Amino acid sequence: MGYQFLHIQTYARKTDKAGGSVSFVLAEATRRPEASQHVAAPLPPTIVYGPEPDHLLADHDRLAAAAMTTTAAGKTRHIRQDQHTLLTVVASHPTLSEAVRSDPTVAQEVADWQARTLAWLQAEWGDRLVSVVRHDDEKHPHLHAFLMATDDPELRAKPLHPGWAAKSAAVEAAKATGQDGKAANAAGDVAYKTALRAMQDRYHEAVGVACGLTRRGPGKRRLTRDQWQTERAAAKDAAKVLHHANRARQTVRRAEAHVRGRLDAATAAEAAARVSAAEAEDHRHELAARARQEARSILAVARDRGQLIVTEAEAKANRLRGLGRLLGGLWTGLRGVEARLRQQADQQVTAARAEAAEALEQAKTAARAEIRAEVGAQLADATRTARQADRQAEQARERLQQVEAEAASLRRELVNERHLRTDAECQRERFQRRWAEADNCLTALQPPQTAPALRR
């Protein structure tokens, strides 16, 4: 591992003194022969994000041709050819390209660095990041990122540059306080360098630390070989600690999600058990009500049958009484015969009444027996259903206890994972303190410089 490299620059459609322009930069990214003479064996770039550079050039030229600006006189015109309309960011990894092709572990490290760099670019510039390509045909694998101010009608690229944006704001602020042009420009230069240092710091915090890259190289700070090796080792150890801490966080998140899922399942099982018990209780009440209703119906039928028997017996007795009156009318003189006939009629009526009462009692007895049997059967069914519901409720409670035991076990595992995460965070903080102490010592050792370097 080594130190990070990040370079940022803007370009116009018109070629500058160094030979750079939008078309040349995108041609170099595409590996056209006229723009790739510095590469011994050019290879096609790998598209990481967005369109290919050729397509990007067509989109850029179309937007630049349509961009309009307003002059000091209030008139609108097309933007100038020398206005900067494209921002480029170059990020390089210190690993050799040959090692990436031959060692899968190194290739994975570079892939992780690429993903983190892309995420940092998107966080810094958002939708203004339009394309990213990777070159593997030079000494070190590196990324070319291209950005355009697609939301600006004038397609200005310099406001996207942190250094130029800070310098412009500082110059305007200095002039507003009455400073002359030279003093305002000096203040702008300071702001320019400060903003670029802050950008490098943000990149190191988001990418360099996690990938084991140092913030600066040994040459500018005049470090000895041992000091540089110590700093590289510390950066690599810090990257490992961050990697383990991230893995611990992921494990904790997975454990928490698993516990939540098991608790939700337990809650659902408990609710289902309660619903089953309530349904069983409702079914038992329904069966009991149905049995009572059928018993009332059987009793009503028995009463109707007994009343019918009594009515028939009364009808027979009335016919016998009518026969006695007829005989009495015919044989008025024979009082004794009438008395005997009346006595016989009364005896027959008494016998009929006794027969009717006996039949009614038998009917009641039979009805009671039928009611008891029917009600007993209904109650037996209701009891069996209630016992089955009780067994189901007991099983549900047992399942709930098992789930609660498993949830308690998972909570203990979660506590252990949190302890591991806390330990990892403590280790990371110790490494950061050691890193800060080493950086302070190295800073104290280096001589004062007139102007810090902005590029490698």
Across the range 177-194, mean pLDDT stands at: 94
User: Residue 274's CB: how many other CB atoms inside 10 A?
Assistant: 12
Across the range 101-113, mean pLDDT stands at: 94
99 compared with 437, residue with greater pLDDT:
99
pLDDT, tens digit (0-9, with 9 covering 90-100), for 60-90 = 999 999 999 988 888 899 999 999 999 999 9
For residue 113, pLDDT beyond 60 = yes
Identify the pLDDT of residue 437: 81
- Which residues lie across from 11 on neighbouring strands? 86
Across the range 239-268, mean pLDDT stands at: 62
Residue of 370, 402, 6, 413 lying closest to 197 (CA atoms): 6
Report residue 390 as tokens: 């009780």
For residue 456, pLDDT beyond 50 = no
Share of the chain above pLDDT 90, in %: 42
The model's confidence at residue 442, banded by pLDDT at 50, 70 and 90, is confident
What backbone torsions phi and psi does residue 78 show, to the nearest 5 degrees?
A: -70, 150
Identify the pLDDT of residue 125: 97
User: pTM score, two decimals?
Assistant: 0.53
What backbone torsions phi and psi does residue 18 show, to the nearest 5 degrees?
A: -85, 0
d(CA 54, CA 145): 14
Task: Return the SS3 of 210.
Answer: helix
pLDDT, tens digit (0-9, with 9 covering 90-100), for 293-344 = 776 777 677 677 767 766 776 676 677 566 556 655 555 655 665 567 677 7
For the chain, what is the mean pLDDT? 82
